[in-house]
Amino acid sequence: MKPAHSGPTPSGRPVTGDPSAARPVLDSADLGRALTRIAHEIVERNHGASDVVLLGIPTRGVSLAHRLGERIAGIESATTAAPVGSLDVTMYRDDLRLRGVRPLEATEIPPGGVDGKVVVLVDDVLFSGRTVRAALDALSEFGRPRAVQLAVLVDRGHRELPIRADYVGKNIPTALTETVHVLLAETDGRDGVLLGPADLQRTSSEEAAR
């Protein structure tokens, strides 16, 4: 089984790089606008937000899900705000044996559950698609949504599975020797998306396969 990052990382170790060597591709204002647009698209496609549940994939997907939730509440009236939760996929990953053990993050399904709902999975970067596949497996343990959609801030290409996003903040074509850094105020102190060179360096689990 191939690891998510192939090419210059034959040993399958996660690839990342030094954010200070990266160049910005989205600034804070752009990021905010992208989220606002996605929020409108979610409401438009689902004819309102009454059945929508936003589930962020930790870590940064959760912050993004909360921001989308706030924007959706601003579009529609308060009575149809979409519930927001989180869905940790660590235990469903297909690359545990190659990447090793990582600490678990929180899974919080909102009180209404997911049965019959439109679940919008929210993540920061879409890359190989394996995280989303794991999320679909995890989600199926909690119930049976009417539909599942995917919102990502950045789609950087290089899919290894037949998975596509329904809502994309920005398409950024990348080389495998590059890496995308998403920074959010909640976790990193500021907002922005950077593109930089990849390092063959061991890192914390947060920077691992997307």
Partner 1 sequence: MTTHTLSTLPRHLLSAADLNRDNALLVLDTAEELARLADRPIKKLPTLRGRTVVNLFFEDSTRTRTSFEVAAKRLSADVINFSAKGSSVSKGESLKDTALTLEAMGADAVVCRHSASGAPHRLANWIRGSVVNAGDGTHEHPTQALLDAFTMRNRLGRVEGLNVAIVGDVLHSRVARSNVLLLSTLGAEVTVIAPPTLLPVGVEEWPCDVSYDLDAVLPKSDVVMMLRVQRERMYGGYFPTTREYSRRYGLDARRMATLPDDAIVMHPGPMNRGVEIAAEVADSVRSTIVEQVANGVSVRMAVLYLLLGGALLETAEQAA
State the minimum distance, in angstroms, from the CB of residue 144 to partner 1: 11
Q: Of 48 and 113, which CB lies nearer to partner 1 in the complex structure?
A: 113
With a CB cutoff of 8 Å and minimum separation 6, the contacts of 129 are 159, 160, 161, 162, 163
d(CA 149, CA 73): 19
By CB under 8 A, residue 116 contacts partner 1:
no
Q: Is 88 in the site for partner 1 (CB under 8 A)?
A: yes
Residue type, 117: K
* Least distance CB 92 / partner 1 (angstroms): 6
Task: Identify which of 83, 91, 210 has the alpha carbon closest to the alpha carbon of residue 153.
Answer: 210
Give whichever of 144 and 164 is closer to partner 1, judged by the CB atom.
144
**Cβ of residue 131: shortest distance to partner 1, in angstroms?**
15
Helix (H, G, I), strand (E, B) or coil at 31: helix
Could you say which residues in the range 142-201 bind partner 1, by CB under 8 A? 142
Mark the segment that binds partner 1 (CB under 8 A) among 18-26, 105-113, 118-126, 177-185: 105-113
Please give the Cα distance from 140 to 118 (Å, whole number).
13
Q: Is 96 in the site for partner 1 (CB under 8 A)?
A: yes
Residues 52 and 1: their CA atoms lie apart, in Å, by 35
Q: From CA 120, how far away is CA 53, in angstroms rounded?
A: 6
Within 28-67, the residues that bind partner 1 by CB under 8 A are 59
Binding residues for partner 1, per CB under 8 A?
A: 10-12, 59, 88, 91-92, 96-107, 137, 141-142, 204-206
